[in-house]
């Protein structure tokens, strides 16, 4: 039995787990409030997922089109999320995003500029106006660089290559966290009054994914184990444009910025097919001819947006439909062409990463030839359920923000709304943690038996003589999720997936990592399987329960949105016997002004006929 007094122990007021955009912004806020703040990352500082973000962050600055404001952004977000977003979160996000972007500029972020010297904004799917503040196609890099520089100078204590394993509680409330160092394999105990999870999504459960190795759903699974609820996890976003070829890079993201800057989608017959897939509810705001779409690209404010910029769920399903109809590209996708639309200098200036990505990874020169693209698992709309104002879960002292949190994006996230989500809700979680700690009575204490239990669970895969190979288990999981919980779903396959996950779970219990705990990637993989299994089971069960097609969740046995389902979120929690409980939960009514704005005709919103009575906070 480990004597916990011998464990390396650090004490912080608040521990932020995850050093992407959300975690960094949360840590900056905590530290600005005078809290001793630890920031934990299982990779190196600067290597989080956020650094991969390309296209930009959405905020209604109105620099490129003065008609933009928070109400239009809110309306776009709710419509994009198919009205399942937590209303207050979408409202806070739309209201705060512009200030958070300006704050980044004050902290030194060097955005692309308009000719007048303002922060430039680009078009993206589902956003009515050019709204994405960007730095070429390397926006995430600039975001993370700026937050890191600012945060480090504020006195945050960084713990790198240290993986969080389990939340420790004193009664109901947070008391600490057990982690381990990835190099030495030694355990690390954190004593803390509050924890903020900012650990991102769980895309590595699927084979074709734009996500990096870090996305194993750890924060979501740890929060679930600690008693928090998950919500909306059936909504996993398949980005329409991942690389299709060669196989080594299948799924790697091709930014929506390509389409925002004029790229078009073609099938194997050379036809621009998106005009055939415009949903009824977006028809009034979408160009119905190439001529109109071209005028829009040239800046004609009377023209409507090209259909390539419809929301991601629509575009991803359309590509899939073309492939199913036998009109796909040679490797099962579609062609994305910007070469015939823009000159080489423009492409290299606006899309430098895409240019190099295709040149180096696929030997394709995107200034001369089209790219081959197809849907790729990209983003978790659902996640840990939090209170909209404070970002606290139902576990006192446990907070969540960024991609691991749920509620903000409803059934489908608009591109660019994640980076702004990170800085808006990262900050709010810091404010929430400060308020919680101020109100805390007495100091929570860590229970030695809990720590010993967590260490035992983490090491049993090293101690058994023989067992299952963690890499093989992960391969099998990816097969299940790809085959049964993919972009187009049905009840039979989902049930089959759940049954297969049950069997896989039995094998995961017997996982064996060879070798000792030092420098042992096999052990890391074995530990990740715990999180991946929880997240996968939750997604599959919630997807089976939601008997409709909405946003990113498409059921071929329940086509189209069903009115009765917009009333419900699906909420997942662990019961006292350790079983996963999946329930429909009725959504509260939103305030009237928000409902009016979300449902307004754009002309009525712009003329002030609707929304004049909105609460300004």
Ligand X SMILES: Cc1cc2nc3c(=O)[nH]c(=O)nc-3n(C[C@H](O)[C@H](O)[C@H](O)COP(=O)(O)OP(=O)(O)OC[C@H]3O[C@@H](n4cnc5c(N)ncnc54)[C@H](O)[C@@H]3O)c2cc1C
| Residues annotated catalytic, as ranges | 239, 259
Query: What is the chain's Cα-based Rg?
Result: 23
Return the residues of window 420-479 that contact ligand X according to CB under 6 A: 422
> Residues 29, 68, 218, 468: which binds ligand X (CB under 6 A)?
218
Among residues 62, 130, 151, 200, the one that binds ligand X under rule CB under 6 A: 200
262 counts as binding ligand X under rule CB under 6 A: no
Q: Which of 31, 236, 391, 418 contacts ligand X by CB under 6 A?
A: 418
Residues 266-325 contacting ligand X, CB under 6 A: none
- Two tokens at 43? 């990779």
Q: Say if residues 29 and 151 touch (Cβ distance below 8 Å).
A: no
19 lines the binding site for ligand X (CB under 6 A): yes
Q: Compute the least distance from the CB of residue 454 to ligand X, in Å.
A: 13
Q: Which of 23, 38, 62, 467 binds ligand X (CB under 6 A)?
A: 23
User: Which residues lie below 8 Å from residue 350, measured CB to CB, with a gap of 6+?
Assistant: 136, 137, 257, 261
- The whole-angstrom separation of Cα 221 and Cα 505 is 14
Q: What is the separation, in whole angstroms, between the first and last Cα of the chain?
A: 53
Q: Positive or negative CA dihedral for 323, 326, 329, 334?
A: negative
Binding flag, residue 20, ligand X (CB under 6 A)? yes
Residue count at the site for ligand X (CB under 6 A)?
A: 42
Task: Give the binding range for ligand X (CB under 6 A) out of 311-319, 411-419, 499-507, 596-604.
Answer: 411-419
- The binder of ligand X chosen from 27, 28, 49, 611 (CB under 6 A): 49
Rounded CA-CA distance 94/101 in Å is: 12
Of the pair 13, 403, the CB lying nearest ligand X is at 403
- CA-nearest of 330, 244, 321 to 279 is 321
Which residue's entry shows tokens 């209201």? 95
126-155 binders of ligand X (CB under 6 A): 139-140
Please, what's the largest Cα pairwise distance for the chain? 73
Stretch that binds ligand X, among 102-110, 196-204, 456-464, 600-608 (CB under 6 A): 196-204
We find the least distance from the C-beta atom of residue 595 to ligand X, in angstroms, to be: 26
Which CB, 104 or 278, lies closer to ligand X? 104
- Distance separating alpha carbons of residues 317 and 287, to the nearest angstrom: 19
Residue 205 near residue 535, CB atoms below 8 Å: yes
What H or E segment, with its residue span, contains residue 431? Answer: helix 417-439
DSSP 338-400: -TTTS-HHHHHHH-HHHHHHHHHHH---TTTSPEEEEEEEEEES-EE---TTT-B-SSTTEEE
**Closest to ligand X by CB, 98 or 605:** 98
Among residues 253, 400, 610, 614, which is the contact residue for ligand X, using CB under 6 A? 253
- Of the candidate residues 53, 61, 231, 498, the single one contacting ligand X (CB under 6 A): 53
- By CB under 6 A, residue 164 contacts ligand X: yes
Cα distances from 223 to residues 26, 47, 196, 404, in angstroms, run 17, 23, 10, 10
Closest CB to ligand X among residues 22, 544: 22
Among 12, 13, 35, 55, binds ligand X (CB under 6 A): 55
Residue 42 binds ligand X (CB under 6 A): yes
Q: How far apart are CA 283 and CA 414, in angstroms?
A: 18
Interacting span for ligand X (CB under 6 A) from 14-22, 366-374, 384-392, 486-494: 14-22
Decide: is 407 part of the binding site for ligand X (CB under 6 A): no
- Of 316-324, 417-425, 483-491, 514-522, the segment contacting ligand X by CB under 6 A is 417-425
Q: Is 199 in the site for ligand X (CB under 6 A)?
A: yes
Mode of pairing for the β-strands spanning 173-181 and 162-170: antiparallel
Tell which one of 50, 63, 237, 554 touches ligand X (CB under 6 A): 50
CB atoms within 10 A of CB 56: 35
Residue least distant from ligand X (Cβ): 20
Residue 288 vs residues 80, 90, 129, 144, 303: alpha-carbon distances, Å: 20, 30, 18, 39, 10
419 binds ligand X (CB under 6 A): yes
Q: Which residues bind ligand X (CB under 6 A)?
A: 17-23, 40-43, 48-50, 52-57, 139-140, 163-164, 198-200, 210-211, 214, 218-219, 253, 379, 402-403, 415-419, 422
């Amino acid at each position: 039995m480990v004597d916990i007094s011998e464990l390396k122990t650090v004490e912080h007021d608040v521990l932020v787990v995850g050093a992407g955009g959300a975690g960094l912004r949360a840590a900056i806020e905590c530290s600005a409030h005078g809290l001793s703040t630890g920031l934990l990352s299982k990779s190196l500082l600067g290597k989080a997922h956020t650094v991969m973000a390309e296209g930009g962050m959405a905020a209604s600055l109105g620099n490129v089109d003065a008609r933009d404001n928070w109400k239009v952004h809110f309306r776009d977000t709710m419509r994009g999320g198919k009205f399942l977003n937590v209303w207050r979160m979408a409202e806070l996000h739309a209201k705060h995003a512009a200030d958070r972007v300006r704050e980044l500029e004050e902290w030194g972020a060097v955005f692309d500029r308009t000719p007048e010297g303002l922060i430039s904004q680009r078009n993206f799917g589902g956003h009515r106006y050019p709204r994405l503040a960007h730095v070429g196609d390397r926006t995430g890099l600039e975001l993370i660089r700026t937050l890191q520089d600012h945060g480090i100078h504020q006195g945050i204590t960084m713990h790198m290559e240290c993986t969080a394993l389990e939340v420790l509680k004193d009664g109901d409330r947070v008391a600490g966290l057990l982690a381990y160092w990835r190099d030495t394999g030694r355990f690390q105990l954190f004593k803390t009054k509050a924890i903020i999870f900012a650990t991102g999504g769980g895309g590595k459960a699927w084979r074709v994914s734009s996500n990096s190795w870090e996305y194993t759903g750890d924060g979501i699974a740890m929060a679930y184990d600690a008693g928090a609820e998950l919500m909306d996890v059936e909504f996993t976003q398949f980005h329409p444009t991942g690389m299709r070829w060669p196989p080594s890079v299948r799924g790697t993201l091709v930014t929506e910025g390509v389409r925002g800057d004029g790229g078009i989608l073609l099938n194997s017959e050379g036809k621009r097919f998106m005009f055939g897939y415009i949903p009824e509810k977006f028809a009034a705001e979408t160009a119905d001819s190439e001529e109109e779409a071209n005028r829009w690209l040239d800046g004609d404010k009377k023209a409507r947006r090209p259909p390539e910029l419809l929301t991601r769920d629509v575009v991803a399903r359309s590509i899939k439909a073309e492939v199913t109809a036998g009109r796909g590209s040679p490797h099962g996708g579609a062609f994305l062409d910007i070469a015939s639309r823009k000159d080489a200098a423009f492409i290299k200036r606006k899309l430098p990463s895409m240019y190099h990505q295709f040149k180096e990874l696929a030997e394709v020169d995107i200034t001369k030839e089209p790219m081959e693209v197809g849907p790729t698992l990209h983003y978790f709309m659902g996640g840990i359920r939090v209170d909209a104002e404070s970002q606290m879960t139902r576990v006192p002292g446990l907070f969540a923000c960024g991609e691991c949190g749920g509620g903000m994006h409803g059934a489908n996230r608009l591109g660019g709304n994640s980076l702004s989500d990170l800085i808006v809700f990262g900050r709010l979680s810091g404010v929430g943690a400060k308020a919680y700690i101020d109100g805390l009575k007495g100091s929570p204490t860590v229970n030695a038996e809990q720590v010993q239990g967590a260490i035992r669970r983490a090491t049993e895969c090293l101690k058994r003589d023989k067992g299952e190979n963690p890499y093989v288990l992960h391969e099998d999981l990816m097969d299940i999720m790809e085959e049964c919980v993919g972009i187009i779903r049905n009840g039979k396959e989902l049930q089959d997936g759940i049954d297969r996950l049950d069997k896989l779970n039995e094998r995961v219990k017997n996982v064996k990592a060879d070798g000792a705990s030092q420098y042992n990637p096999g052990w890391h993989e074995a530990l990740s399987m715990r999180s991946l299994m929880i997240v996968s089971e939750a997604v599959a069960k919630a997807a089976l329960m939601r008997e409709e097609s909405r946003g990113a969740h498409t059921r071929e046995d329940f086509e189209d949105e069903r009115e009765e389902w917009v009333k419900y979120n699906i909420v997942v929690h662990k019961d006292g016997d350790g079983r996963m409980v999946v329930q429909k939960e009725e959504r509260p009514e939103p305030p009237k002004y928000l409902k009016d704005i979300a449902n307004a005709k754009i002309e009525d919103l712009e003329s002030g006929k609707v929304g004049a009575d909105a609460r300004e906070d």
